[in-house]
């Protein structure tokens, strides 16, 4: 029979064996987990490339502003300004521009103030409204580039106060973007293959792809009336000659980033 002392020694020895076994099991699990989930299993690298596509603009667009100044009868000033805007709009429509390609960008009514000198006691009179300025800005798209110069010249001679932001753009850039994207991805894949070859490793799966559309570079031109005048319409400020326009080209740039795992 086991006496109490032998029993205690047996239990103590069993406990030591259990603790040793548990420690070995924990170390083994940690080693296995580290092997499967360590940094080497998630090694990646990223390559970048740019693609470019060039297109011929099919739209000329420009903006013009008409404003009228007057006294305190806002309705009369608005009516006068509206007549000018309508005359210009009718001319543009008769020139073959679609109504959907004429867009009002801004309409404003702003008061003009008269300020009086402050008194000796430091008090200052309230500013007095002496009149109002009504202003309307419009953007026009001309799809027939042959007519663009004549339309711009005609608008400049109908009492506008400024003509600006003339540019030539590709209306639908989808095809250009797709072409630039395809080129960028092809370049990025080629760069990834070259990097793997130089680094003596194998490409894994494609983990992520991102792109940045860098936009086009449209041609901006200057018309004969591409200046602002405070109070006078362009037609009264300078002679208007027929405008010669050159559409040029438009570039679309896309930058892509491909991230691969490393085998």
Helix (H) or strand (E) holding 147: helix 145-156
Asked if 166 and 222 touch (Cβ cutoff 8 Å), the reply is yes
What pLDDT sits at residue 4? 57
Alpha-carbon distance of 207 to 260, in angstroms, equals: 5
Residue with tokens 């753009």: 169
Confidence tier at 134 by pLDDT (50, 70, 90): very high
Q: Torsion-angle region of residue 21: left (phi > 0), alpha (psi -120 to 50) or beta? A: alpha
Helix (H) or strand (E) holding 183: helix 174-199
Q: Does domain 54-174+215-256 have CATH number 3.40.1030.10?
A: no
Average pLDDT over residues 131-140: 95
What pLDDT sits at residue 101? 96
Average pLDDT over residues 2-11: 55
Most confident of 133-142, 163-172, 198-207, 230-239: 133-142
Asked if 216 and 170 touch (Cβ cutoff 8 Å), the reply is yes
Asked if 91 and 158 touch (Cβ cutoff 8 Å), the reply is yes
Alpha-carbon distance of 129 to 116, in angstroms, equals: 12
Q: Is the pLDDT of residue 97 over 60?
A: yes
Confidence tier at 5 by pLDDT (50, 70, 90): low
Closest-CA residue to 128 (of 74, 70, 72, 77):
72
Asked if 261 and 42 touch (Cβ cutoff 8 Å), the reply is yes
Alpha-carbon distance of 47 to 56, in angstroms, equals: 31
Does residue 112 or residue 214 have the better pLDDT? 112
What pLDDT sits at residue 234? 41
**pLDDT tens digits for range 187-218:** 999 999 999 999 899 999 999 999 998 765 44
What pLDDT sits at residue 235? 40
Average pLDDT over residues 212-235: 47
Q: Is the pLDDT of residue 241 over 60?
A: no
Confidence tier at 37 by pLDDT (50, 70, 90): very low
Does residue 236 or residue 189 have the better pLDDT? 189
Closest-CA residue to 69 (of 137, 158, 131):
131
What are residue 102's DSSP bridge partners? 140
Q: Is the pLDDT of residue 1 over 70?
A: no
**SS3 assignment, position 34:** helix
Tokens of 102: 């004429």
Instruction: List the chain domain ranges.
Output: 54-174+215-256
Q: Is the pLDDT of residue 251 over 70?
A: yes
Tokens of 114: 């008269």
**pLDDT tens digits for range 162-175:** 998 888 999 999 99
């Amino acid at each position: 029979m086991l006496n109490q002392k032998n029993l205690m020694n047996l239990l103590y020895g069993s406990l030591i064996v259990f603790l040793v076994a548990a420690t070995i099991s924990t170390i083994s699990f940690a080693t296995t987990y580290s092997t499967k989930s360590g940094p080497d299993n998630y090694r990646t690298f990223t390559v970048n490339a740019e693609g470019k596509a060039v297109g011929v603009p099919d739209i000329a667009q420009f903006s013009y502003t008409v404003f009228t100044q007057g006294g305190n009868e806002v309705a009369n000033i608005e009516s006068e300004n509206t007549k000018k805007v309508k005359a210009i709009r009718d001319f543009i429509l008769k020139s073959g521009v679609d109504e959907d390609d004429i867009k009002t960008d801004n309409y404003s009514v702003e008061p003009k103030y008269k300020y009086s000198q402050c008194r000796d006691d430091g008090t200052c009179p309230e500013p007095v409204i002496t009149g109002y300025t009504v202003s309307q800005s419009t953007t026009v798209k001309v799809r027939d580039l042959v007519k663009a110069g004549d339309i711009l010249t005609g608008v400049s001679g109908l009492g506008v106060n400024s003509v600006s932001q003339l540019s030539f753009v590709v209306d639908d850039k989808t095809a250009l973007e797709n072409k630039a994207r395809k080129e960028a991805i092809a370049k990025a894949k080629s760069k990834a293959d070259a990097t793997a070859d130089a680094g003596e490793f194998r490409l894994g799966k494609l983990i992520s792809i991102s792109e940045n559309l860098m936009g086009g570079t449209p041609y901006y031109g200057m018309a004969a009336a591409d200046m602002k005048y405070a109070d006078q319409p362009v037609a009264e400020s300078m002679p208007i000659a027929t405008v010669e326009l050159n559409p040029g080209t438009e570039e679309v740039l896309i930058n892509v980033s491909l991230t691969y795992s490393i085998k």
